[in-house]
Structure formats: structure tokens, C-alpha cells
């Protein structure tokens, strides 16, 4: 099942994608819902980020090659994480599919994409174990963890380097059926492939993160966990179209719009 989120008369509405159409529901996938008779064309519906999270978790460094590349960029020696220690991002940075990535005029040229799998929590959960850990997941979507590397390196925290408004495009929808073991993540800029990697070639997996997180922290419906990215990332410039595709989850497409250019 694919869940989309959009506005109807200015009001947040969830809908179920059915082929080329979207069926409005009353309610939402987190608290319960009821299908309506209202159907609209998917292609003419402006989708929002498919969920506005309660807490926005991010794995950060979670793929070996990306850890080495990140260390090189920051002029540090690579330091592979020893445990599934989660990090945080800010809600203001989230934007939807096809929305522009709006880059402040004072950003440097080191403005880069990061294609990530996003886990969407559907049920409150604490003290998860191997057997029940996946039960709290509603589904999966795609994230682009846009990063300004100069700020990421120079600031004391990653606040504006990764959390500037529109630096976290997410979407296009939440897919509840997902075959992780066969999934590939691809990043394209202006149609040119920049990197393709096996989505689950990470250091710590979804189960390891959720089990460890839930030993200390209650997970809530609408929480999202961004799982990190692999490899070297390149600069984007004004007008670039960045597409992230994950097998079975669709394509998240956003255009870079640099203020003052």
C-alpha cells in the first residue's frame, strides 16, 4: 500500500495510491482511517512530504565508504561507528517531492546530495526485540540529506549544514510493502547517475537501530529514521535536478534553487 499526503482545501489529507489515482481517506495511517469516495489523479496532485515527523532521527555515518569520504572532506581520520548511535535533525528542514531545495546566498559551492532510505514509525514502541522490531514500522520512503560541507565542517553543530529550510526533501510517498534485501539506492543529477549502492550495505541495519534506540527512547507514530548514505557525494549547482530512486519506493526529485542566482 502506498500512502500519499497532500492538501485538500488547505487541509492535510492522506490518500491511498491506486494505480494512477489517489483515494482520499478520513483520518490517517497512524491513528486510523476510512476510505472515501473521493478520487483524484496522482499526476495532478501536488504531494507533500508524506509525514511531518514527531522526532526526526538520522543515523548519520552508517556506510563504510561514506565514512571514509566524509573523514577525508573534514580532514580527519575515518572513524567507523562502533554502535548504532542515532542522531537528530530538525523538522523545519523537511520539504516535499518536487519542491525546490532553496540554498541560502551565502552557502559555498560544497552543496551536496545524500540519498537515504527512510523508515516511518507507525506504532508506539519501547524495548523492541528481534522478533517484534519490524512490527512498529508503517513503511518506507526516500530522503535527500542535503548538506553544505563548509558549514558542516566549520560550525560547532550540524545545524545549518544539514538543517537549513528545505535541506531535507522526503517522499514521494510511504510504501508499506518493501523488499529491502533486493533494493538498490541510486542518485542521479540532471539524469546522470552519480552512485548506485545496495540499500542494505550499511554498517548497522534497521533492526539494530530500532532495538537499541527503543531500549532508552519510546518510538512514536510519525517518527522517522533516516538510515544514512554511501559513497562520495558531489556538488550541486543552481538548476540541478537531483533524483534519488530506491527500488520499489519510486523517485524523489528536487531542483536546486540558489538564492541570488
Q: Which residues bind a second copy (CB under 8 A)?
A: 54-55, 57, 60-61, 81-83, 85-93, 104, 126, 155-157, 159-160, 163-165, 213, 215-220
Of 135 and 215, CB closest to a second copy: 215
Complex with a second copy: residue 30 or 178, whichever CB lies closer: 30
Residue 230 vs 245, nearer CB to a second copy: 230
* Closest CB 166 distance from a second copy, rounded Å: 10
Looking at the Cβ atoms of 25 and 86, the one nearer to a second copy is: 86
CB of 261 to a second copy, least distance (A): 17
**Cβ at position 202, least distance to a second copy in Å:** 15
Please report how close the Cβ of residue 148 comes to a second copy at its closest, in angstroms: 10
In the complex, least distance from residue 126 CB atom to a second copy, rounded to whole angstroms: 8
- 47 vs 213 by CB, closer to a second copy: 213
Please write down the HEC assignment for all residues of the chain: CEEEEEEECCEEEEEEEECCEEEEEEEECCCEEEEEEEEEEHHHCCECCCCCCCCEEECCCCCHHHHHHHHHHHCCCCCCCCCCCCEEECHHHEECCCCCEEECCCCCCCEECCEEEEEEECCCECCCCCCCHHHHEEEEEEEECCEEHHHHHHCCCCHHHHHCCCCEEEEEEEECCCCHHHCEEEEEECCEEEEEEECCCCCCCHHHHHHHHHCCCCECCCCEEECCCCCCCCECCCCCEEEEEECCCEEEEEEEEECCC
Amino acid at each position: 500500500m502506498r500512502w500519499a499526503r497532500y492538501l485538500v482545501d488547505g487541509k492535510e489529507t492522506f490518500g491511498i495510491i491506486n494505480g494512477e489515482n489517489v483515494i482520499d481517506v478520513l483520518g490517517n495511517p497512524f491513528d486510523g482511517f476510512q476510505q472515501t469516495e473521493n478520487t483524484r489523479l496522482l499526476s495532478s496532485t501536488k504531494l507533500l512530504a508524506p509525514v511531518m515527523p514527531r522526532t526526526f532521527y538520522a543515523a548519520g555515518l552508517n556506510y563504510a565508504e561514506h565514512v571514509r569520504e566524509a573523514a577525508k572532506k573534514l580532514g580527519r581520520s575515518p572513524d567507523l561507528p562502533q554502535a548504532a548511535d542515532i542522531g537528530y535533525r530538525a523538522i523545519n528542514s523537511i520539504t516535499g517531492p518536487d519542491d525546490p531545495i532553496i540554498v541560502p546566498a551565502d552557502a559555498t559551492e560544497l552543496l551536496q546530495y545524500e540519498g537515504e532510505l527512510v523508515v516511518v514509525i507507525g506504532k508506539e514502541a519501547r524495548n523492541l526485540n528481534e522478533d517484534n522490531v519490524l512490527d512498529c514500522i508503517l513503511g518506507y520512503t526516500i530522503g535527500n540529506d542535503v548538506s553544505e560541507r563548509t558549514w558542516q565542517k566549520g560550525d560547532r553543530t550540524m545545524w545549518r549544514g544539514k538543517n537549513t529550510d528545505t535541506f531535507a526533501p522526503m517522499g514521494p510517498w510511504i510504501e508499506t510493502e518493501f523488499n529491502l534485501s533486493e533494493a538498490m539506492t541510486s542518485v542521479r543529477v540532471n539524469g546522470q547517475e552519480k552512485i548506485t549502492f545496495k540499500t542494505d550495505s550499511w554498517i548497522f541495519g534497521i533492526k539494530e537501530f530500532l532495538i537499541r534506540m527503543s531500549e532508552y527512547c519510546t518510538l512514536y507514530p510519525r517518527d522517522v529514521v533516516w538510515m544514512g548514505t554511501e559513497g562520495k557525494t558531489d556538488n550541486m549547482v543552481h538548476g540541478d535536478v537531483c533524483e534519488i530512486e530506491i527500488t520499489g519506493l519510486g523517485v524523489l526529485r528536487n531542483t536546486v534553487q540558489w538564492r541570488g542566482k
